[in-house]
Every structure is written in structure tokens, then in C-alpha cells.
A and B are shown apart, each in its own frame.
Chain A
């Protein structure tokens, strides 16, 4: 541009040869002397003073400057036309009012003429050959600069620069310039040959081979011996110019395995060559060591971005006298970098050309890769070899080799890109072919996925579009010992190639676990195993964290495997459905029991869908479906769900009760189905909130949830089980004889005595006190789990979700944390509810198929679990025998006389002095103690 401005100032019409490329063109010498002088002079003036950007800006054409016109001319005559115009100008002098004429090499069919007015242009070209006056176009001011911008910097191909070939078999290949012939515009470059020796030998021997589809042979070094074996003639010649020996095959020259190729300069691309590390390594391979480094540097330097050096960078001088001087960058100017040298006795700062500098790192530096294949990765430098830095990646712990130039010091820790689209490192994804795996590495455009194939590690490269979706569900699996595993549980691998490894479960999918072991170096530490070949180590952490309750899985762990199914066979207690169980323990949290639970819908339109319970209202629940982004309401009777780990979990109570009615016999088998076992884990969310409440002040319950105390406490649970077994054996009557209840059994026999009236009056207190004495905290805890299994024999007759049992006021915890006695009591409540808890003299409702509900009073509990019931609310009517599932206890009201049906006080009578949510406050007759008991374990007493 500035050159052009000169011409404005000089006010000469001049043809122009800005391109400088056309050296061979003789016309270039056709300037008249005067013009050349002026031209040269003004040039000097211009370049002597360093033009700043602002000044440059001021030189841009404005509306007041002459305009550029584009005029059509004959193709190939552009230069001629321009020269003619110049001649015309010389001849005619100031008469010709155009200022300049420009012919551009790359623009055919047009020349530019600079003039103030279109008329001047027309005047100037009038009567000229090869020029078409028909169309004169104005170049917009903005585009004027582009017309004359010199296209890129001059191609500077010199020896040892790295270039890429633009055409032919070697298109895109990296090449090193060996020799340049500027006159002939050719260069000799060194490339790694892509020669198919077989094809070559065929050709040489004149064999006709059906031509296969064109393909590019892979680049590899030429092996002369191999060529000789194929009977290809190899000549050894000395190059007259350099004196080096070359192997010549079919006119191609080879040396050290490289092909030396003579190519036109135009077929080389010098811009943005950016040799990758691998390419350079290859070039270095055959014996070349030190000096290769220098040459590679020269190109690297050429490719440096602006602002490559920053203040504070540590640098080393790589060229010149000061070679190997280390220092810090103080100031950066365009091409000079001022550095502060490390050595003493040198000036404070030295100005050094940025081409002579290289970044320098020391082992131990924490760096980030800023360009190249591993862009974005961070790591620590372990060694520096010349200009190559070896670093250990922070995340993968792999060794990365990069150029010092591509690295900056940084304290940041990343693994490079960790996310493409929605998918992030370590996500579990399902791929196109329905296989699944964990993303173990994110590359620039693809993910490395460790497939979910347990037998052997299988890593696939998946592009973004090959990934179907991300799996983000909470899924459970079972380990070898049938413990429920969830994410974050620590497991140990028991067999397979990774046997003995241990780590937290990161993902679970289709029974396959992805375990992260930080000591496992392959696959970013991920190991894929079948859940069955693992063993849970320690307790289930996730359950503890997520549900705030570690003990479910904990105790499933402690239990012997066969017990797992049985324990969860406890049906949700009859008519209340699952949720009253929780409610009972929950201190009045009633419905919350289900909320948050993951359930599977078993019936209706959404059958099979899984989701989370959002809200419970009466017999309706609202479920947020996982599969469809919506919340649906479960409308009464058809909605029955099962907890995700397949516990049959009746939301709709009536539905369950129907079942019960139809099959009045014990329903245990229904609940005992193996598939239904994992009721516990999913149910737990409720409990965490409650337990601490009750036990606060007494035990360190809340803290680890896994304190030694607990463990001890939990163990007794196992001995606890026999009674339940008995019960499950369909022998409800045997509860009294079970060892656990030995202390309590004598009174229980008393109840069985046909004289019920006396039964409750004289027996209880002593015996129950006895029973109560061993009630240390251990046993209290031992009993604690039972609320999860609050069972009723085989399912109760349908009980309308009576209000008394339902939602309690969550706050109403009349618990004084200090009073251990009370606290310990509460967990006991549920414990015995698993036995047949009907006792004589309690008011019940009897419902028989086809009949209405009739109140009655139990007179006697028969050993087979059924009861003799005297109908009528005061027990005056007929005596009938009813199965347990036809009987429903009538909940007592405030100030009613009650009988305690469960817990240590089973059989005792008392008075219900208050109801708090699902807890009843009871004054026990014999001891006059006030106890807080679960309403479920209380029944209205009817004295005969």
C-alpha cells in the first residue's frame, strides 16, 4: 500500500509490477529511468522511518483518494495493455488523467486503472487494442487494499526447511529440502518413499499385472537389499554436485532409505507445515541425531505463533555465541526478545532474536501442552532432550513427548479435553451397536471406550455420532455372595485377568461392573468385570451416602447368603402397603417412605417403566419416569410397582389386598420370589432420617453409621432369625418356643391358655421385665433391623389405610434424647411384629371372602396361626375361626385400654394415653411406665 501511496504523491501514471514473482519477465525492466529513480527514492524515504500501525492505517485509501477501476481486457494481454498505457502516458504527458495501471499476474482478463473519474479511464483506454471499454467497474474502497496486497510473504525455501508436498503420491507428506535451485524453480527434497517394490519389479520385468485400484503405498524406508532380492537393478552413483553416493532405481535416487526427489517449488507448501512429533521422529530415525534437531527447529520457529514468548518464560539460546545461555524473558518486541540471563557478569538484559531462542524446561516443572496432538494435557516434566520435553501426564500417567515450543508452564491440572458434546471422560455410554463401555480417554474428535466385555479388555474408538446415549442410572448388581453392589462400593476382583485388583465401582450396567483402580495403569485405571466375579469389600458406601443409611447393605453383607431372600420375604405389612412400615419407624413420616424410591411400574400403560417416586397421595403416586421425560401419576388400582431391584412393592394397597383375599393362605411365597429380594436397599432412604432421631444422645449411630458398636449390634441379628424362620415355615404358633424369646415364652403360653381373661392380668409384668432385662443396647440394636421386615403372617386382610397409621406429623418426636430406655424401646417395637402378633382379648375386624367386615374379639390363638374369634365388638357373638390374613387389628384410640402385641412388652396391657403420628404413648399397667410404642403393635383390649 505504501508503495502505492508514493505514486499518488508522485502523481505519475505508471504501470506496475508489484508481484516481484515475474523476475523472468523482461518487461519488468521497462520502466523509464526517471520513474524508477523517483520510485526508488520515495521508497527509501518510506522504509527508513519505521511506520507504525497507526501511520499505516492513515495510508489506507479514503473517499478523497483516486479510485480503482477494473477494466476488461483480452486474456493474456494484461501486461501488454498495461505497458501500452504506460507508453501512452509517456507520449501524451499530463493529458492522460489516469494515475496508474496495474496488471496482476493472478488475475486474468482484467487490469486495474487508477483514476479520479470514470471518464478519465474511458479517455485513457480509448482507441486501444485488446481492451474492452464496455465494462468499467469501480472497486469498492474497502477492497482496494486487497487488490494490491502482496499475497503472503515471499516463499522462502531454503535448505533444511520442512515442507509438505502438494501433489502426487506424496501429497501431504512431510519433506525436507535438501537443495534449492532458484533459477529453475526446483528443489530437491528428501521424503520417506512410498514405493511398492513388487509393483516396480513387475513393471521392470514387463509382467502384466491386473491393475488394482489405485492406492498409496505406505511410507517406509527403502531397503535396497529387498529391492535387489526382487531383481530390481540398483545402481550406485555419485552425485557430481555434492559428491554423495546415491542408489538409483528406475531413475529414483535413494540415500539412507530416503527418496531424494526433484520437484518444482510450486508443488511445495511451506506455510503451516507443523511437522508432528512422529513425523520428525521418523525422519530422525536412521542415524541422524544432533543436527537434525537444529533443522527441525528452524521450521518450528517459522511456525511459531505471534506472542510465542511471554514475559517470565524460561528460555535457552540455541544459536550463536550465547548458545546454551539460559534466562528469563523480560520483554518481547516484534522479533527480538529481551532476556535476563541466568549467568552473572552479563548485562542485565540481552536482546536476542526470537529465532535464536527456545523455551526451556527443567525436570519437575508442571506444564501444559498448548498445541499438537496432545493439546490441553498437563503433566510434569521428567526429562528434557534437546528441544523435546518428556512429561508424565497428570491423569493418565502416560509419557508424552512434545516439543518444548508446544508447552507452557502451568499449575493447572487437566487431562486435555475431557468432554465432547454431552459425553465426558469416565461416562458410561451405549454405542451404536448396543455395546456399552466407559469413556477412558477423550481425543480430539473421538473417544476411547473401554467396552463392557468382562473377558478381556477391549478398547474401541468411538466418534461422537457413534455414541447413542449416556447411561446415568443408578443400577444395582449382585456380587458373588449376593451382596447388593452399587456405585462407589469397593469391590475386590476374585477371578479373571485382573484378579486381586480392588477399587470402587464406577459404573454398573447389565451385570457388568466398571471398577476404577488407581494402580491399574491401562485403560485409565478402569477394569471391566462381571459382577459375579467380585466381592464387596467393607460395607456398601454408596448406600450409606446416598440413602444416608449404610446398614441395609451392611447387614445384607453380614447375613449368610441364603438368608437374603428369606429376610426380604417380609411382605409389606398387609393393608398398609409398604409405606406404613416406614411410617411406623419414621416417626410419622408416613408417605415419605416411598418418595425418592426407584420403582418399576408393573401394570398399566407404563408397565415396565422405571422411575422415581416424587409424591405419594393416598393410593396414588407420582412417578418421574426415567425413560420419558415426564412425571406421571399412578392412578389407583392398576398401579403397582416394584422397587427397582424388583421387590414387589405395592403402592396400591387395594391391589395387594385383593391378592390376599383371593388366596387366603399364607402369601409368603409370593414375596419370597428370588427376584424380589432386594427390597432393602431401595427402601432405606427413609430410615436415615429417623434413626438418628431416636437414638440421638444414646449411640454414635448417626456418625459413621458403621461404628463398631453397630457392628456388634448387628451381629445378633443373625441369631434373631430363627423365630422368623419358624414363622416362615408356616408355624406361627411356635414363636413362643423360639430361643430368642425364651424369657418371654412362659407368659405367652399363658395367653394360649383358654382362660384369656386372667391371661393378661396376672402374667405379664414379671416375665416381661425379665424379658426386658437383657435388653442392653446390643439387643436393642439387634432388634432394630426388624422394622425393615415388619411382617405379618402372610399378609393381612385388607385394611383400609386407616388414618391413624398414616401420615404423622414429622416433627412430633416426643423423644427425650437422654432417656435411653425409651429409645431402646422403640426399635424393639417392630422386632416382634414379625411373630404372629395376635393375642387373645384384642379387638379385631374379621373379613371373610364374601362377607362384610365384622368386629370380633380374639379368644384364642391356635397353633396353626388361625384364631378363634368371638364376633361382636364386645365378644358376645358366635365364635368363629379365622385365618390370620382375614384378621385385622382394630387400632386403638386415645385412652383405650390396649394390649401390646409386639416387643418386649408383648402381652402386657396398658392404656393409650396419646397418639403421636404412628407412635402410641402407652402407660403400662403393671409397671406404670410410660412407653412409646409403634401403633402397629397396639391393639384394643376387650375384656371378656
Chain B
């Protein structure tokens, strides 16, 4: 789920950036530092949408760096248990398949794939229904439900299922070709 929220961060700025463009530098650095990171609490920071407030800088003894408390608005993405996501399959193997929904990696175990889908090894490993009408392979887009999340410092990993109503392939690259 995406959220628009206000976060705060203490930015350390090298003295060489002091000058007219200080604020720009600060924002640039903030974007570089923050965008794409992941925190367990908020999830992935997708984009910074605005700066609310840049606090007073504090010069650090010894280094000359200055710390600015910066309040910024950003869009964060945090997957939740029970959430329905659409994701692109990145890898298929006999244990299940991995899919990515933006920065989040989701694993769908073969236990969580409908029983009528079977793993087919080969050049393009895939899961196919008995009648061959539905196929999950690399690059397929699937709709899945997240049933568990694990949050590390740098990534969020989810376990998903497609064994439920209205879940499964939504666009199949193999079908078009």
C-alpha cells in the first residue's frame, strides 16, 4: 500500500556545499540518500514529494559537517499481510516462483499455487494448468495476495499466494506470442 507521509531525517552536509545552493544540495542529497531505501516501519521510500521544513543546522565539532533536521514529504510503499498486489514474475522454479512488485520481492511457494497447476521444467520453467490454459512463467503478471512479510533493514520480502479467488495470471507474455 502506498502512503504519503511526512518523515524527518537528520542530514549531514559537507561544508563544501555551503553557499547559495545549500538548500538544493541538501535536497539532492536527501533524495539520493532516502529514495529507494527501506525501513521496517514505513516500507520503501518511493519518492520525495516535498520538503516541509529544514531546521537549524548544527555544526559538528571536528568534522565541520553540519547536521540539518529535514522534514520531508514522501511516498512510501509498504506491503501488508492480506494485501492484493500485482507483480511481475521474475523467476520460476520447482519450489514456486518469485515475483516483484516494484521494490518488493514476493515468493509464491508451490503450496500456494492452485493444485491444478503443475511445474514444467525446461527452457522456460513454468507452472501450467492441466488443460494448459493458464501458464505462469517469467515476465508473467500475476495478482497475488500477501500472506506474510519479513522486513530486513534493506529489503522487504513477502510470501504470497495465488490460491484464492480472483488471483493468478493477469497477463501472460506467452499467450501473446
* Chains A and B belong together in one complex: yes
- By a beta-carbon cutoff of 8 Å, the part of chain A in contact with chain B is 363-366, 380-383, 390, 392, 394, 397-399, 413, 519, 521, 692, 696-697, 702, 817
Cross-chain pairs A/B with CB under 8 angstroms, 11 sampled: A364-B81, A364-B159, A366-B150, A380-B148, A380-B150, A381-B159, A392-B96, A392-B107, A394-B150, A394-B157, A399-B95
- When the two chains form the complex, which single residue of A363, A398, A521, A702 contacts B91, counting CB atoms closer than 8 Å? A521
Chain B residues near A817 (CB-CB < 8 A): 16
A692 to B14, CA, bound (A): 11
Indicate which residue in B19, B112, B146, B152 contacts A382 across the interface (CB closer than 8 Å): B112
Assess the B148–A364 pair: CB atoms within 8 A: yes
Instruction: Write the chain A residue with the least CB distance to B149.
Output: A364
Known: A692-B16, A817-B16; 12 extra A-B contacts, CB below 8 A, are A364-B146, A365-B148, A381-B148, A390-B111, A392-B109, A394-B157, A399-B95, A399-B109, A519-B98, A521-B95, A697-B16, A702-B16
Could you say which of A363, A364, A381, A817 has the most chain B C-beta atoms within 10 Å of its C-beta? A364
Is there a chain A Cβ closer than 8 Å to B147's Cβ?
yes
Report the separation of the CA atoms of residues A519 and B98 in the bound assembly, to the nearest whole angstrom: 9
Name which residue of chain A comes closest to B91, CB basis: A519
- Measured between alpha carbons, how far is A381 from B147 in the docked complex, in Å? 9
Smallest Cβ distance from B35 to chain A, in angstroms? 15
Taking CB atoms, residues of chain A closer than 8 Å to B93 are 521
Cβ distance A365 to chain B, nearest Cβ, rounded Å: 7
Query: Would you call A413 and B107 a contact (CB within 8 A)?
Result: no
Contacts of A413 in B (CB 8 A): 150, 152
Docked-complex contact B95 and A397, CB < 8 angstroms: yes
- Contacting A519 at CB < 8 Å: which of B81, B90, B147? B90
The closest CB in chain A to the CB of B107 belongs to A392
Neighbouring B residues of A383 by C-beta, 8 Å: 109, 111-112
Q: Roughly how many angstroms separate A519 CA and B138 CA in the complex, as a whole number?
A: 12
Q: Are A382 and B159 in contact (CB under 8 A)?
A: yes
Taking CB atoms and an 8 Å cut-off, the chain B residues in 129-177 that contact chain A are 146-150, 152, 157, 159, 161
Q: Which residue of B lies closest to A367 (CB)?
A: B148
How far, in angstroms, from A99 to B23 measured CA to CA in the complex?
96
Contact assessment for A363 and B159 in the assembled complex, using a CB-CB cutoff below 8 Å: yes
A399 to B112 alpha-carbon distance, docked (Å): 12
A366 CB contacts on chain B under 8 angstroms: 148, 150
User: Nearest Cβ in chain A — how far from B91, in angstroms?
Assistant: 6
With A519-B90, A696-B16 already in contact, the answer to whether A363 and B148 are too (CB < 8 A) is yes
Closest chain B CB from A396 CB (angstroms)? 10
Bound CA span A380–B111, Å: 13
Min CB distance B17 to A, Å, is 9
| A381 vs B109: C-alpha distance when bound (angstroms) | 10
Query: With the chains together, A397 CA to B107 CA distance in Å?
Result: 9
Which applies to chain B's interface (DSSP): helix, strand, loop or mixed? strand
Q: How far is the CA of A363 from the CA of B16 in the complex (A)?
A: 53
Query: Which residues does chain A contribute within 8 Å of B96, judged by CB atoms?
Result: 382, 392
Interface positions of B (Cβ within 8 A of A): 14, 16, 19, 81, 90-91, 93, 95-96, 98, 107, 109, 111-112, 146-150, 152, 157, 159, 161
In the bound complex, CA of A394 to CA of B16 (Å): 43
Determine the residue in chain A with the shortest Cβ distance to B112.
A382
B14: A residues at CB distance < 8 A: 702
Which residues of chain B have C-beta atoms less than 8 A from A521's C-beta?
A: 91, 93, 95
Q: Which A residues lie within 8 Å of B109 (CB)?
A: 382-383, 390, 392, 399
Query: In the docked arrangement, what's the CA distance between A692 and B147, Å?
Result: 49
A174 to B6, CA, bound (A): 61
Partner of A363, one of B98, B112, B150: B112
C-alpha spacing A696/B19, complex, angstroms: 12
Partner of B159 from the list A380, A398, A692, A702 (CB cut-off 8 Å) is A380
The 6 closest A-B pairs by CB, nearest first: A364-B148, A383-B111, A364-B147, A382-B109, A696-B16, A380-B148
Give the interface centre of B93, B148, B157 by most chain A CB atoms within 10 Å.
B148
Complex: A383 Cα to B19 Cα, angstroms: 59
Contacts of A365 in B (CB 8 A): 148
**Chain B: minimal CB distance from A368 (Å):** 12
Most chain A Cβ neighbours within 10 Å, of B93, B107, B159:
B159
Chain A residues, Cβ within 8 Å of B159: 363-364, 380-382, 392
CA of A381 to CA of B58 in the docked complex: distance in angstroms? 47
* Cα–Cα, bound, A817→B16 (Å): 8
CA distance A413 to B148 in the complex (A): 14
- Looking at B16, B19, B81, B111, the one whose CB has the most chain A CB atoms below 10 A away is B16
CB distance from A457 to the nearest CB of B (A): 15
Q: How many Å from the CB of A79 to the closest CB on chain B?
A: 61
By a CB distance below 8 angstroms, the chain A residues around B161 are 363
B110 to chain A, nearest CB (A): 8
What separation, in Å, do the CA atoms of A381 and B81 have in the docked complex?
13
Q: Which residues of A contact B112 (CB under 8 A)?
A: 363, 382-383
Q: What residue in chain A is nearest B16 (Cβ atoms)?
A: A696
Residue of A363, A390, A413 with most chain B CB atoms under a 10 A cut-off: A363
Cβ–Cβ < 8 Å partners of B81 in chain A: 364
Nearest A residue (CB) for B15: A696
For the complex formed, measure the closest distance between the CB of A853 and the CB atoms of chain B, giving whole angstroms: 45
In the assembly, what is the distance between CA of A383 and CA of B147, in Å?
A: 10
Contacting residues, chain B, for A696 (C-beta < 8 A): 16
Q: How far is the CA of A179 from the CA of B112 in the complex (A)?
A: 40
Nearest chain B CB to A233 CB, angstrom units: 43
> Which residues of B have CB within 8 Å of A380?
148, 150, 157, 159
Nearest B-chain residue to A698, judged by Cβ: B16
- The CA-CA distance from A692 to B96 in the complex, in Å, is 50
C-alpha gap A398/B110 in the complex (Å): 12
With both beta carbons as reference points, the residue of chain A lying nearest to B152 in the complex is identified as A413
B residues less than 8 Å from A519 (CB atoms): 90-91, 98
Point out the residues of chain B lying under 8 angstroms from A364, CB to CB. Answer: 81, 146-149, 159
Least Cβ distance of A408 to chain B in Å?
16
Q: Which residues of A contact B91 (CB under 8 A)?
A: 519, 521
Q: Which residues of A contact B111 (CB under 8 A)?
A: 363, 382-383, 390
Measured CB to CB, the nearest residue on chain A to B109 is A382
CA A392 – CA B158 in complex, angstroms? 11
CB of B78, distance to nearest CB on chain A (Å): 16
Bound-state CA distance A394–B156 (Å) is 11
Looking across the interface, which residue of chain B has its beta carbon closest to that of A696? B16
Shortest distance from the beta carbon of A204 to any chain B beta carbon, whole Å: 44
Least distance between B95 CB and chain A CB atoms (Å): 5
**A34 to B: closest C-beta gap in Å:** 68
A390 to B161, CA, bound (A): 14
Minimum CB–CB distance from A255 to chain B (whole Å) comes to 31
Give bound CA distance, A390 to B96, whole Å: 13
Question: How close is B120's CB to chain A, nearest CB, in angstroms?
Answer: 17
Q: Which residue of A lies closest to B147 (CB)?
A: A364
Bound-state CA distance A696–B159 (Å) is 48
A381, B158: Cα distance in complex, Å: 11
A696 CA / B64 CA spacing, docked (Å): 14
Chain A residues with CB under 8 A of B148: 363-366, 380-381
A105 to B: closest C-beta gap in Å? 53
Question: Which residues of the other chain, A, contact B98 by a CB distance below 8 angstroms?
Answer: 519
Q: Considering the complex, give the chain A residue whose CB is closest to the CB of B81.
A: A364
- Would you give the shortest CB distance from B145 to chain A, in whole angstroms? 10
A363 and B147 form a contact (CB under 8 A): yes
- Taking the closest CB of chain A, its distance from the CB of B159, in whole angstroms, is 5
A702 to B14 Cα, complex, angstroms: 10
Cα A397 to Cα B158 in complex, Å, equals: 12
Report the nearest B residue to A363, measured CB to CB. B147
- B113 → chain A, closest Cβ, in Å? 10
Specify which chain A residues have a CB less than 8 angstroms from the CB of B19 in the assembled complex.
697
Q: With both chains docked as a complex, state the minimum distance between the C-beta of B21 and any C-beta of chain A, in angstroms.
A: 11
How far does the alpha carbon of A392 sit from the alpha carbon of B14 in the complex, in Å? 44
Q: Which of A383, A390, A392, A394 has the most chain B CB atoms closer than 10 A to its own CB?
A: A392
Of all chain A residues, the one with the shortest Cβ separation from B161 is A363
Q: How far is it, in angstroms, between the C-alpha of A692 and the C-alpha of B64 when the chains are bound?
A: 14
Smallest Cβ-Cβ distance to B19: which chain A residue = A697
CB-CB nearest in chain B for A399: B95
CB nearest to A397 among chain B residues:
B107
Shortest Cβ gap from A416 to chain B (Å): 16
A174 to B95 Cα, complex, angstroms: 29
